C-alpha cells in the first residue's frame, strides 16, 4: 500500500534519473567513446607509420648495402679496380708477405668511402676474415673481434657458415651486449670476388645507437622495435628494448609463429618476404597510448561521480517540489491511493459537495419563486452563501431555454465581469430561463444591459428579456420574480378587497405537474432507444428537451428515484447480462455494444451492480 501511496513520487524520481542518465550515457557512448576511438585510431596509425618507417629504413639500408656489394663484386671480376686492393683474393695475399695488412687497410678505407665504418670480408675457403684493418681467423674474430660468449656464438657462427652462402644472398646475425640483448646486428651479402670468383661474405655491423634515424623514431615514445628471423624465430635486432622487454618478446616468439602476432593488440607486425624476416613493434609501454587509456579510465570515473552528483541534486529538487504536494496529501484522505488518485478523489468529493450545495440552493430558490416556500437565512449560510450578499434580483429570458453550455457561459461571464453570483434554470412548461443574481452592491442595470447584448449575439430565435426589481432580502426575491411574470399580479375580489392570485398559482402548479409527467415519459422513451449510445450524456439529453441539467437531475431524483447516470448504467448492465448469456461475444465487444467506451470501467460498474465480474457472471 505504501508503494502505491507514493507512486507519483517514485515515478518522478525515476523520470529524473532517466533524464539525467540518458543524456550522460548518450554523451559518453556517442561523443566520448567516439573521441577515444578516434584518438586510439590516430595513435594506432602513428605506430603503424612508425613501424613502416622502421621497416623502410632497415630494408633500404640492407638493400643499398647489397647493391654496393654486387657492383663491387662485378668490378672485381673485370679488373676495373686498383691492383693493390683486397679484392684480388687470398692467392695474392699469400704471395706477398705484407699484403694482408695492406688488404685490411684497403678494406677499411673502402668502408669509409661507402659509409660503413665496420665493414668486413670473410673468405670461406681460407677461413680468413679482414675487418677494421686487422686479419682474423673466424674463431679469433668471435673471441677478440666480437667478444661473444660460447653460448651466443652459435647464431653468429651460422652467419659465417658456407651452408648459408648456398641458401641465400643476404644474411643477418644478432650481436649481444652485456645484458644479453641484441642491440646491433651483422648484415652480410654473399658474393664472389676477383677473377678466381672466390666465395666471400662481405658484412658490416648495424648499430641503432649510432644511427640518427633510429634515434629520431624513438624520440618521445616508449615503443620497442624488433627484427625477427622467420626460420629460427630469433631476434636479430632489438631497438629501444630493455632486458625485460627482450625476454617478453622471446617468450611470445617461442609460443607462436610471428604471423600469429597480428592477433595480439599490443603488437604491430610487418613482414618482408624477400628477406624472410618479420618486423615487430611493441607499444604496450607507449606513453601516449597509456595516457589515452589513463584518460579514458579517469573520465569514466569522472562521469560516474558526476552522475551520482546530478542524481543527488535531482532528488533534492524533486523533494523540494514534491513537499507542497506532500503537505496537501496530509490534509486529504489517502488510504494507499496514488497521489493524483487521492487528489482527484478529494476534488471529486469537493465538486460533488459544491454541486450538491448548488442544487440545494437552486431547489430552495425555485420552490420559493414558483411555490412561495419561505427561505431561511440560516439555511442559506449553511449552504455557503456569503453573508456579504445583500442585493438580489431576477431576470427571465422568455420563449427560449438556454442550453447547458450557454447557461454556463452566461453565469461565468457575469461572475467574471461583475463579481455577481448567478443561479440559472429553466421554467419547466413555460419555455423560459430564469436567472437569479446575488450581489454585494446593486449592479442590476449594468447586468441587464450586458445580458441584453449577450442574448442578441447568442440567441437567434425570438425572445424577451424581462428584469425584476432589486430587493434587499433573499426572502423577497419573489417580488422581483413577480415583476417578470403574471403570477405576482394582484386580483380584486367582488367585496373590493385585494387577494393574491392563489387560484392562478394552483392552476399553474397543476399545469406544471401535467407537463412534467409528459416530459418524463418522452425522456424515458428516448433513453430506452439511446442508452446504448456511447456519446449519450446528461447535458445532451437536457439540451434535446430544452431543460436544464438541474431540472433533468431533479426529475430523475424526485420522480424516478435514482440519478440519471445510475438509471443509464442500470439499463446498460441489464442489456449486458442478456448479451453475456445469449451470445459468444467477449467482454470488450459487449462493453462497446451496451454503451461503454472503456471495458475496464464496464467491468467495474458491472461488478458494482451485480457483485461479480462479467466473466464470472457468464460462467
Least trusted range by pLDDT, from 260-264, 327-331, 567-571: 260-264
258 versus 253: which is more confidently predicted?
253
- Is residue 79 very low, low, confident or very high in pLDDT (cuts 50, 70, 90)? low
CATH of domain 348-521: 3.30.70.120
Per-residue pLDDT reduced to its tens digit, 416-466: 999 888 888 887 777 888 888 888 889 989 999 999 999 999 988 888 899
pLDDT for 85: 52
| Confidence check: pLDDT of 285 > 90 | no
Q: CATH 1.10.390.10: does it fit domain 566-618?
A: no
Per-residue pLDDT reduced to its tens digit, 162-190: 887 776 678 888 888 878 888 888 899 99
- 254 vs 157: CA distance, rounded Å: 21
Contact call for residues 432 and 484 (beta carbons, < 8 A): no
pLDDT for 215: 53
At 236, give phi and psi (nearest 5°). -100, -20
Per-residue pLDDT reduced to its tens digit, 215-229: 555 555 567 888 888
pLDDT for 507: 66
How far the first Cα of the chain sits from its last, in Å, is: 32
Contact call for residues 548 and 404 (beta carbons, < 8 A): yes
Contact call for residues 533 and 342 (beta carbons, < 8 A): no
The mean per-residue pLDDT over the stretch 553-580 comes to 86
Q: Tell me how many degrees the CA angle 256-246-160 measures, rounded to the nearest 5.
A: 85
The residue count of the chain comes to: 619
Please give the share of the chain, as a percent, with pLDDT higher than 70: 79
User: What is the DSSP-derived secondary structure letter of residue 87?
Assistant: G
Per-residue pLDDT reduced to its tens digit, 445-454: 999 999 999 9
Please give the share of the chain, as a percent, with pLDDT higher than 90: 4
**What H or E segment, with its residue span, contains residue 401?**
none
Q: Tell me how many degrees the CA angle 467-354-368 measures, rounded to the nearest 5.
A: 40
469 versus 383: which is more confidently predicted?
469
304 versus 501: which is more confidently predicted?
304
State the burial class of residue 296 (Cβ atoms within 10 Å of its Cβ: 0-12, 13-18, 19+): middle
Per-residue pLDDT reduced to its tens digit, 304-327: 788 788 878 877 887 787 777 777
Q: Is the whole-model pTM more than 0.75?
A: no
Place of cell 387577494: 499
Contact call for residues 183 and 207 (beta carbons, < 8 A): yes
pLDDT for 382: 59
**Residue 311 in 3-state DSSP?**
helix
Contact call for residues 171 and 163 (beta carbons, < 8 A): no
| Confidence check: pLDDT of 500 > 90 | no
Segments making up each domain of the chain, as ranges: 43-288, 348-521, 566-618
Residue spans of alpha helices (H) in 78-188: 90-95, 99-114, 138-140, 153-159, 162-167
pLDDT for 390: 83
The mean per-residue pLDDT over the stretch 515-527 comes to 85
- 113 vs 265: CA distance, rounded Å: 43
Amino acid at each position: 500500500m505504501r508503494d502505491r501511496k507514493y507512486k507519483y513520487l517514485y515515478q518522478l524520481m525515476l523520470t529524473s534519473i532517466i533524464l539525467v542518465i540518458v543524456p550522460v550515457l548518450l554523451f559518453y557512448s556517442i561523443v566520448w567513446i567516439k573521441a577515444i576511438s578516434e584518438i586510439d585510431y590516430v595513435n594506432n596509425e602513428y605506430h603503424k607509420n612508425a613501424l613502416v618507417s622502421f621497416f623502410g629504413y632497415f630494408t633500404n639500408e640492407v638493400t643499398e648495402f647489397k647493391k654496393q656489394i654486387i657492383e663491387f663484386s662485378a668490378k672485381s671480376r673485370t679488373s676495373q679496380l686498383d691492383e693493390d686492393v683486397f679484392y684480388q683474393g687470398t692467392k695474392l695475399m699469400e704471395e706477398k708477405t705484407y699484403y694482408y695488412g695492406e688488404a685490411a687497410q684497403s678494406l677499411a678505407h673502402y668502408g669509409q668511402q661507402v659509409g660503413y665504418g665496420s665493414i668486413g670480408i670473410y673468405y670461406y675457403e681460407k677461413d680468413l676474415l679482414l675487418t677494421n684493418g686487422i686479419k682474423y681467423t673466424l674463431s679469433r674474430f668471435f673471441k677478440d673481434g666480437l667478444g661473444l660468449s660460447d653460448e651466443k656464438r652459435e647464431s653468429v657462427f651460422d652467419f659465417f657458415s658456407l651452408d648459408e652462402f648456398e641458401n641465400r644472398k643476404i644474411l643477418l646475425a644478432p650481436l649481444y651486449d652485456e645484458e644479453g640483448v641484441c642491440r646491433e646486428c651483422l648484415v652480410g651479402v654473399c658474393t664472389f670476388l676477383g677473377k678466381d670468383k672466390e666465395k666471400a661474405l662481405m658484412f658490416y655491423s648495424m648499430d641503432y645507437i649510432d644511427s640518427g634515424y633510429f634515434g629520431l623514431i624513438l624520440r618521445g615514445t616508449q615503443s620497442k622495435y624488433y627484427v625477427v628471423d622467420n626460420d629460427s624465430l630469433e631476434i636479430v635486432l632489438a631497438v629501444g628494448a630493455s632486458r625485460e622487454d627482450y625476454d617478453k618478446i622471446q617468450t611470445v616468439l617461442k609460443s607462436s609463429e610471428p604471423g600469429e602476432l597480428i592477433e595480439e593488440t599490443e603488437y604491430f607486425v610487418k613482414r618482408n618476404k624477400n628477406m624472410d624476416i618479420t618486423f615487430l613493434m611493441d607499444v604496450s609501454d607507449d606513453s601516449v597510448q597509456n595516457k589515452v587509456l589513463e584518460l579514458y579510465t579517469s573520465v569514466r570515473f569522472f562521469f560516474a561521480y558526476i552522475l551520482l552528483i546530478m542524481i543527488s541534486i535531482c532528488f533534492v529538487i524533486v523533494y523540494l517540489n514534491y513537499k507542497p504536494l506532500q503537505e496537501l496529501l496530509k490534509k486529504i484522505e489517502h488510504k494507499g491511493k496514488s497521489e493524483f488518485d487521492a487528489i482527484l478523489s478529494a476534488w471529486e468529493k469537493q465538486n460533488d459537495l459544491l454541486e450538491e450545495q448548488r442544487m440545494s440552493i437552486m431547489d430552495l430558490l425555485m420552490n420559493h419563486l414558483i411555490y412561495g416556500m419561505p427561505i431561511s437565512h440560516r439555511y442559506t449560510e449553511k449552504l455557503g452563501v456569503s453573508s456579504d450578499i445583500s442585493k438580489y434580483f431576477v431576470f427571465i429570458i422568455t420563449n427560449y431555454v438556454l442550453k447547458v453550455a450557454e447557461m454556463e457561459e452566461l453565469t461565468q461571464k457575469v461572475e467574471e465581469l461583475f463579481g455577481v453570483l448567478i443561479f440559472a434554470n429553466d421554467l419547466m412548461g413555460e419555455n423560459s430561463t430564469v436567472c437569479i443574481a446575488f450581489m454585494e452592491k446593486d449592479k442590476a442595470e449594468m447586468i441587464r444591459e450586458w445580458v441584453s447584448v449577450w442574448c442578441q449575439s447568442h440567441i437567434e430565435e425570438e425572445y424577451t428579456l424581462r428584469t425584476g426589481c432589486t430587493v434587499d432580502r433573499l426572502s423577497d426575491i419573489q417580488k422581483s420574480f413577480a415583476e417578470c411574470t403574471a403570477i405576482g399580479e394582484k386580483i380584486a375580489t367582488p367585496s373590493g378587497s385585494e387577494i393574491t392570485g392563489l387560484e392562478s398559482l394552483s392552476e399553474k402548479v397543476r399545469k406544471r405537474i401535467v407537463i412534467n409527467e409528459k416530459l418524463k415519459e418522452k425522456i424515458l422513451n428516448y433513453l430506452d432507444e439511446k442508452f446504448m449510445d456511447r456519446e449519450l450524456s446528461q447535458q445532451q439529453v437536457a439540451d434535446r428537451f430544452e431543460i436544464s441539467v438541474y431540472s433533468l437531475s431533479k426529475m430523475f431524483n424526485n420522480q424516478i428515484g435514482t440519478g440519471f447516470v445510475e438509471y443509464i448504467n442500470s439499463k446498460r448492465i441489464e442489456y449486458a447480462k442478456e448479451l453475456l448469456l445469449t451470445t459468444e461475444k467477449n467482454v470488450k465487444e459487449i462493453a462497446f455494444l451496451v454503451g461503454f467506451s472503456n471495458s475496464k470501467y464496464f467491468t467495474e460498474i458491472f461488478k458494482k451492480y451485480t457483485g461479480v465480474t462479467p466473466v464470472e457472471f457468464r460462467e
